[in-house]
Structure formats: structure tokens, C-alpha cells
């Protein structure tokens, strides 16, 4: 990978990450996608109390479940086949499980698909992010992490602009929230092997 990157690969501080999720209820949206799936795999090794996995693709979610069964007993896992745009179903998860840490990786992320489906990109990347962050605040989640993109820097596409607005929502939440919740955005560049 270093040859492709042209730099040293970053090393994660797994002790800090482990403390961050240990014995917590963790919700991952877009859990069956390439980034969400990797987050799921890594986080499941760090002893969270419960992992809630949400994805709109039934087949991808089923395949994720099969992969996880090989190394986990799935006792502390729940799989939700729903769309993040479905506010009512998503709120049921918050009411029942009270997720403490949310990794929001669900998004429309193909530039050309977003250009052809502007309203869907807005509903998924902006409105769903707003709804989820409101729920995180309402149900006193500790931390909401938005997985964003480097295309949000001076955006020139619907995808980049929609993610930029999502970032602005999260920044505003972190600045003005009255509760204990933290709101964070992290930008990913091009991810090797990503479905996006």
C-alpha cells in the first residue's frame, strides 16, 4: 500500500479506540458497505456492549452477518434492514437501544448517480444526517461521527455539495448542542476496494 500511497500508511491507536467503544452500544449506519463493513469488523473486536448494524441492502446485510458469524456468536448484534431516510424505523432503534456511539457511514456516494438523482442524494446525505444527529442529541448519545468525503472540499458535484452540507449540520450541532453529545465529521479520500 505504501507504494500506491506514496507515503507511510497511518497506524491506528487501537488502545484509545478500544477505550472509546468498550462496553458501549454502537450504531453503524451503512454497515454493510465497504467503509461500514470495515468499521463493523474492527469495532466488533474492541468489546462493545452491543452493536447495531443498519443497512438498506438486504443482501449486503445478510453477507455481513455471515462474515461476522465466523468470528462472533452474534449475541450482542442486531441487524436492521432499513433505510436511514426512514425516520420512524430509525427512531425505534434509538428508543429501544439508546446507542451511545454512532458511526454514520450510510450515504449516496457515486458522483454520477447523485448527479442523476439529486433529490435522493439530498434525502440521504443531508436530511437523513440531520434526522440522525437530532436523534443522537435527543437520546443523549455520547458521540456522533459522520463519515464524509474529500469531495466536500470546494465541492463541484451534487455528491460533494450534499456531504458538505451534512458536515455543516454536524459542525453546527457540535457548536450549539445543549446536551452532552459530541458531533464529529471525518473525511475519507478515495478508499481502496470501496463500493463508492
Q: Where in the sequence numbering do the catalytic residues fall?
A: 151
Query: Can you tell me the distance from the alpha carbon of 103 to that of 127, in angstroms, rounded to the nearest whole number?
Result: 16
Cβ contact 144:181 at 8 Å: yes
DSSP string, 99-167: -SEEEE------HHHHHH-HHHHIIIIIIHHHHHHHHHHHTT-SEEEEEEEGGGSS--SHHHHHHHHHH
Nearest-Å Rg of the Cα atoms of the chain is 16
Q: Quote the CA–CA distance of 168 and 151 in Å, as a whole number.
A: 14
Amino acid at each position: 500500500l505504501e507504494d500506491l500511497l506514496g507515503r507511510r500508511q497511518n497506524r491506528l491507536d487501537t488502545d484509545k479506540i478500544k477505550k472509546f467503544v468498550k462496553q458501549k452500544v454502537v450504531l453503524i449506519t451503512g454497515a454493510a458497505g465497504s467503509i461500514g463493513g470495515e468499521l463493523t469488523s474492527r469495532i466488533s473486536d474492541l468489546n462493545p456492549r452491543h452493536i447495531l448494524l443498519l443497512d438498506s441492502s438486504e443482501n449486503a446485510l445478510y453477507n455481513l452477518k455471515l462474515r461476522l458469524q465466523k468470528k462472533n456468536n452474534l449475541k450482542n448484534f442486531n441487524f436492521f434492514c432499513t433505510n436511514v431516510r426512514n425516520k420512524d424505523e430509525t427512531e425505534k432503534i434509538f428508543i429501544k437501544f439508546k446507542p451511545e456511539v454512532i458511526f454514520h457511514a450510510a450515504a449516496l456516494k457515486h458522483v454520477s448517480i447523485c448527479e442523476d438523482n439529486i433529490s435522493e442524494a439530498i434525502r440521504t446525505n443531508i436530511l437523513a444526517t440531520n434526522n440522525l444527529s437530532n436523534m443522537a442529541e435527543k437520546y443523549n448519545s455520547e458521540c456522533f461521527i459522520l463519515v464524509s468525503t474529500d469531495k466536500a472540499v470546494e465541492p463541484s458535484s451534487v455528491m460533494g455539495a450534499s456531504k458538505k452540507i451534512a458536515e455543516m449540520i454536524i459542525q453546527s450541532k457540535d457548536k450549539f448542542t445543549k446536551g452532552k453529545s459530541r458531533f464529529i465529521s471525518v473525511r475519507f479520500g478515495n478508499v481502496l476496494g470501496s463500493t463508492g
